């Protein structure tokens, strides 16, 4: 938080003392235990690759898009991905629109490092034409409400969006097999990204010169805490990234304690994310079947058209009969007149 509005909101001395003294007795202001997380809900949008994550009051949305670009010269066979964070001013009055501030850049880089260096997203499968065309995946994270602990929520939003994203299928063809044809989703089913493992971020807050440890700090706790650490682990027990950006010094034992706490929770959070993604995929595929029902409904309106046609036929046949009778009468009169 920096800029003109950085200090518009300041915690009062009373509030900060209350939070600190409550933590001395292992009580948190919102009644949670020291290592409890707030309620996590994951929702998805209409498009492939859009997710909405709520962690308590923190609200983050993630969007994934992809486009074909030229690869980097030193990695001609690999696709690339990049993360952009948007700190919307409606989330927090201290966020300024436009140029991302320090904390926005830091958040983007923590999530980027966790996904890139630990090779969670398979980049080799994103290669279309080696050295010429690769898929470049772009993850946009929008912070809608800053209730504290943006890193964890944004990380889950990015993972959920990546797991539900489908990229268009493309074939290499043409005369010299240099042409790439991108198939629209109606022609060919789009393909999911290959994700090897899910690196999940857990943020710790330090209080009282590093002696009190808290997981998932809220906005108020973040303003009071003297240091923080984000540990990114996956369910296989690997540590994917650690970020402790200076601030209060802590003992080595505290660092290792944090790592163990994070590793023990990774499996549970991975399960929550995978279940949410599977529920979304099931709903999506059942929606495709429903589309045929609406076509059947339109057939019900068919008979009305048929009825109208029959009435028209009745009218025309009456007219035809009258004309016919008229013809025969005239013929009979002709014969009678000229037969004499």
Partner 1 sequence: MEYVNPEGLRLDGRRFNEMRQIVAEVGVVSKADGSAVFEMGNTKVIAAVYGPREIQNKSLQKKNDHALVLCEYSMAQFSTGDRRRQKFDRRSTELSLVIRQTMEACILTELLPHSQIDIFLQVLQADGGTRSACINAATLALADAGIPMRDLAVSCSAGYLNSTPLLDLNYVEDSAGGADVTVGILPKLDKVTLLQMDAKLPMETFETVFALASEGCKAIAERIREVLQENTKQLEYRRAA
Structure tokens at 269: 């959070």
Size of the site for partner 1 (CB under 8 A): 41
144 to 48, 53, 204: CA distances (angstroms): 20, 10, 22
Residue for token digits 């268009």? 168
Judged by CB, which is closer to partner 1: 144, or 242? 242
Least spacing, CB of residue 203 vs partner 1, in Å = 14
Site string for partner 1, 64-103 (x = CB under 8 A): --------------------------------------xx
Residue 116, phi-psi category: left (phi > 0), alpha (psi -120 to 50), beta (remainder)? alpha
Judged by CB, which is closer to partner 1: 97, or 174? 97
CB 195 within 8 A of CB 240: no
Site string for partner 1, 6-35 (x = CB under 8 A): xx----------------------------
Among 60, 66, 220, 240, binds partner 1 (CB under 8 A): 240
Judged by CB, which is closer to partner 1: 176, or 253? 253
Among 89, 93, 245, 318, binds partner 1 (CB under 8 A): 245
At residue 93, φ and ψ (nearest 5 deg) are -65, -20
User: 150-164 and 102-117 are packed helices; what angle lies between their axes, rounded to 10 degrees?
Assistant: 50
Judged by CB, which is closer to partner 1: 69, or 256? 256
Among 33, 43, 90, 119, binds partner 1 (CB under 8 A): 119
Close Cβ partners of 337 (under 8 Å, ≥ 6 residues apart): none
Least spacing, CB of residue 94 vs partner 1, in Å = 11
CA atoms of 292 and 290, how far apart (whole Å): 5
The sign of the CA dihedral 325, 331, 334, 340 is negative
Close Cβ partners of 202 (under 8 Å, ≥ 6 residues apart): 152, 215, 216, 230, 231, 232, 233, 261, 262, 265, 266
CA atoms of 40 and 56, how far apart (whole Å): 7
From the list 1-9, 32-40, 51-59, 144-152, the region that binds partner 1 by CB under 8 A is 1-9
What pairing do the DSSP bridges indicate for beta strands 80-87 and 58-69? unpaired
Judged by CB, which is closer to partner 1: 56, or 108? 108
Among 56, 62, 79, 108, binds partner 1 (CB under 8 A): 108
Judged by CB, which is closer to partner 1: 211, or 312? 211
Q: Hey, which residues between 251 and 280 contact partner 1 (CB under 8 A)?
A: 251-252, 255-256, 259-260, 263
Residues interacting with partner 1, by CB under 8 A?
A: 2-4, 6-7, 102-103, 105-106, 108-109, 113-114, 117-119, 210, 227, 229, 234, 237-252, 255-256, 259-260, 263
């Amino acid at each position: 938080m920096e800029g003109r509005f950085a200090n518009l909101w300041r915690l009062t001395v009373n509030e900060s003392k209350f939070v600190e003294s409550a933590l001395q007795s292992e009580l948190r202001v919102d009644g949670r235990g020291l290592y409890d997380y707030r309620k996590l809900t994951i929702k998805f949008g209409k498009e492939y690759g859009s997710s909405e994550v709520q962690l308590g009051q923190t609200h983050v949305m993630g969007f994934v898009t992809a486009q074909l670009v030229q690869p980097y010269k030193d990695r001609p066979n690999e696709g690339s991905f990049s993360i952009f964070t948007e700190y919307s001013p409606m989330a927090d009055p201290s966020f300024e629109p436009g140029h991302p501030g320090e904390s926005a850049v830091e958040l983007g880089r923590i999530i980027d490092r966790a996904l890139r260096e630990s090779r969670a997203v398979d980049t080799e499968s994103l290669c279309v034409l080696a050295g010429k065309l690769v898929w470049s995946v772009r993850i946009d994270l929008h912070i809608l409400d800053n209730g504290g602990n943006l890193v964890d929520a944004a990380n889950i939003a990015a993972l959920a969006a990546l797991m539900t994203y489908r990229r268009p299928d493309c074939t290499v063809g043409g005369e010299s097999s240099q042409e790439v044809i991108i198939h629209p989703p109606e022609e060919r089913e789009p393909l999911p990204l290959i994700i090897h493992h899910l690196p999940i971020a857990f943020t710790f807050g330090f209080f009282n010169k590093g002696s009190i440890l808290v997981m998932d700090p809220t906005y108020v706790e973040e303003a009071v805490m003297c240091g923080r650490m984000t540990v990114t682990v996956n369910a296989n027990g690997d540590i994917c990234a650690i970020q402790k950006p200076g601030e209060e010094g802590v003992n080595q034992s505290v660092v290792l304690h944090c790592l163990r706490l994070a590793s023990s929770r990774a499996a549970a959070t991975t399960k929550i994310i995978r279940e949410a993604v599977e529920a979304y995929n099931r709903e999506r595929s059942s929606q495709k079947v429903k589309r045929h029902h609406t076509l059947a409904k339109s057939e019900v309106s068919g008979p009305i058209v048929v009825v109208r046609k029959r009435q028209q036929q009745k009218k025309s046949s009456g007219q035809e009969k009258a004309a016919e009778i008229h013809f025969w009468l005239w013929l009979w009169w002709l014969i009678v007149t000229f037969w004499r």
